[in-house]
Amino acid sequence: MTFKKCSIGGKLYGYVMDQNGNEIQDINKLEAIQLDEQDQEFIWYDKTLLDAIRHNDEDVNQFFTSLSLCHTVMAEEKNGKIIYQAQSPDENALVSASRSFGYAFQNRTQNSITIRIKDKEETYRLLNILDFNNERQRMSVIVEKDNQIFLYCKGSDTKIKERLANAQTNIVNQTDEHLYKFANDSLRTLCLAWKQIDRSEYDPWAAKLSVVSTTMEQRDEKVVEMYEQIETNLKLLGATAVEDKLQDGVPECIQRLAQAGIKMWLLTGDKIETAYNIGLSSRLLTNEMEIKMIEENSEELVAAKLEEIRNSMINKIEQLFYVDIDDRNKRLDWKTWGIDVLKLDQFRKPSHYENNSTASMKSIQFSIENSPIYNNEQDREPFQGFAILITGQALIYALSENLKMKFLELGTMCKAVVCCRVTPIQKAQVVELVMQHEKKTTLAIGDGANDISMIQKAHIGIGISGQEGQQAALASDFSFGQFRYLERLLLIHGRLSYDLNDYYSLKKPYL
């Protein structure tokens, strides 16, 4: 992962503009800026951020101070150079970028953190680390320097904005615009915030936290409640944007698996815009798909949206295949109608049904390759099926007892489903929903600790070992180093295993 862009105090950095104020698209032709202690993969072109650092801009100073303090990275010296060891590549990218801009994390002890700002060392007393987890979607550190106490927090934009003090409308709106721009560039984003804490506020809170931390009953819940109490009235610093490139061969692998009739759902913690662009770049989604968005935040609204999407799908089916679906309450199912849309990129209406608008679905035949759609003698764009994008908040209600079967029905009608901003528990719940009601073999693949729950829940769990560590690999049935190896595992070894089992089953009765 590589630090690419940032938003600080409502100002956008990382995009290079020409004399007319227009963004220069092909920045690779420009000369990169050489920074101190610059990592080999880190390249920076925007001089305006360096100017702000040189002029000691207060917002920029607090932003990079936060990056150099708010993390769990460990530093060790090798051959005279400090090497960072991080639990996640995101943290490593952010701390390394901070060092490149002159705010270098040096070392930590149990009670202190030392950073170097423009060749001047500063040591902060480390009072508390408020741990990250997938429910909180943020972490904080509380530090003390010169008898002043500071809290620095980083996390998802939705969680950070919930903790902000009032009267920050301008910077919040500007940062939201920048976050949207980052997401459209397929960059992974985090927001940063901070506040200064009075001693009179901190001491009672710390004493209560110490008591709660030693209780035997519901300790974790009580500790999180204490975190919530102190992480309030924050001041927004800005946002980071990190590039997480797809591994080699991922789009081709996904395309071939889809051609083999395997349905793929993407379950990610990224923003919906980021997930959408990743879906396009990985070929899970295409511009020819009819993509439905579910972003509602109540059970009633989600239920209404699911019904709206269902009716829209039925109308599309009737329009494309010249049929009338009389019983709209009947479960939607392509195979009931004899339609295998997974293997179709283009199709047409058979000529002998041109005048029969009520032909049954089962009787319609399709041409799989090089066949345009015709409707009332007019050519139409190729239809590549449906796709759903749903947020984690909406998924809470979609997985409820009242709505889960309707959500599953629509999901199985789609060529792809993308669930965004989801927690590890939600990932496992989605896998379980398909397992229980579809009677299909499920496979879950992931590379991080937050994928373990779904890897263990699925019939087949696959862990990718790499930058995210070995936790997913250790919890899986199979593990390898590249996503693209999944194609060979399924289409070659999987097919061979299936054939051997079939042969064994046929031969055994005769032995």
pLDDT digits (tens, 9 = 90+) for 2-30: 888 999 999 999 887 665 556 665 555 44
- Residue 91 assigned ligand-binding role: yes
Beta-carbon contacts of residue 183 (< 8 Å; ≥ 6 apart): 189, 270, 271, 272, 273, 274, 277
Rounded to the nearest integer, the mean pLDDT of the chain is 83
Overall domain count for the chain: 2
Rounded CA-CA distance 364/355 in Å is 13
The whole-number pLDDT of residue 361 equals 31
**Domain span including residue 388:** 250-422
In the chain, the amino acid numbered 276 is Y
Ligand-binding site membership of 138 (annotated): no
230 and 293 part of one domain = no
Quick one: tokens of 12? Answer: 């956008």
Q: What are the start-end ranges of the E strands in 62-186? A: 74-78, 81-85, 103-108, 112-117, 120-130, 138-145, 148-155
Query: Which DSSP category does 133 fall into?
Result: -
For tokens 């764009």, name the residue.
Answer: 381
State yes or no: 268 annotated in a binding site: yes
pLDDT exceeding 70 applies to what percent of the chain? 81
507 assigned binding-site residue: no
CA-based R_g, the chain, Å:
26
Q: Give the span between the Cα atoms of 322 and 365, in whole angstroms.
A: 12
Instruction: Among 188, 211, 243, identify where a domain stops.
Output: 243
Q: What angle do CA 173, 176, 177 make, to 5 degrees?
A: 90
311 annotated to bind ligand = no
Known binding residue 162? Answer is no
Q: What is the pLDDT of residue 17?
A: 64
- Segment 25-46 mean pLDDT: 61
Tens-digit pLDDT profile for residues 305-330: 999 999 888 888 777 765 555 555 55
Mean pLDDT value across residues 219-225: 91
pLDDT in tens, 131-168: 998 888 899 999 999 999 999 999 999 999 999 999 89
330 is in an annotated binding site: no
The verdict on 66 and 129 lying in the same domain is yes
> Is 442 annotated as belonging to a binding site?
no
Give the residue from 216, 243, 270 where a domain finishes: 243
Domain assignment present for residue 112? The answer is yes
Among the residue ranges 260-269, 272-281, 339-348, the one predicted with the least confidence is 339-348
Task: Write down which residue in 243, 264, 297 finishes a domain.
Answer: 243
Q: 46 and 15: one domain?
A: yes
**Element spanning 179, H or E:** helix 169-184
427 labelled binding-site residue: yes
Q: Region 450-472: what's the mean pLDDT?
A: 89
CA distance linking residue 173 with residue 153, whole number of Å: 19
Residue 189 assigned as binding residue:
no
Q: Any binding-site annotation on 447?
A: yes
Residues 286, 369: one domain?
yes
Identify the pLDDT of residue 362: 30
